[in-house]
Amino acid sequence: MNRKNDPQHDEWAKLVKKRDGHKCQICGRKSKWNHAHHIDGYDWFVAGRYIISNGVTLCSGMGKNGKRKGCHNRFHDMYGRGRNTKWQYDAFKRMNYKYND
């Protein structure tokens, strides 16, 4: 099943974003359009697909000036799509972290 049509994935994403207060865990941007990102990839970590702790909220849209990519797209620009890992997320967070709650 494609995750875009998977109600279990939708519920997982909703719970990840709720836990994070709908705030990007990299830059702190709060938006209803933020994305629930799998820390260890959806494609390879089948057993962890719906574990809340395997998700993190990342912003997905452009900044107000229309020039800034969201953290989710910047992550995938750096590490590609598929086979992503917690190590990659942790490294990306260390390089880009600006948000302190």
Neighbour count for residue 67 (Cβ, 10 Å): 7
Please provide residue 35's backbone torsions phi and psi, each rounded to the nearest 5 degrees. -110, 140
pTM > 0.85: yes or no: yes
Q: pLDDT, tens digit, for every residue of 48-98?
A: 999 999 999 999 876 556 666 899 999 999 999 999 999 999 999 999 866
Residue 101's pLDDT band (boundaries 50, 70, 90)?
A: very low
Tokens of 17: 């974003």
- As a whole number of angstroms, the longest Cα–Cα distance in the chain is 40
pLDDT of residue 5: 84
Q: Where are the domains of the chain?
A: 3-96
28-40 confidence digits (pLDDT tens): 999 888 999 999 9
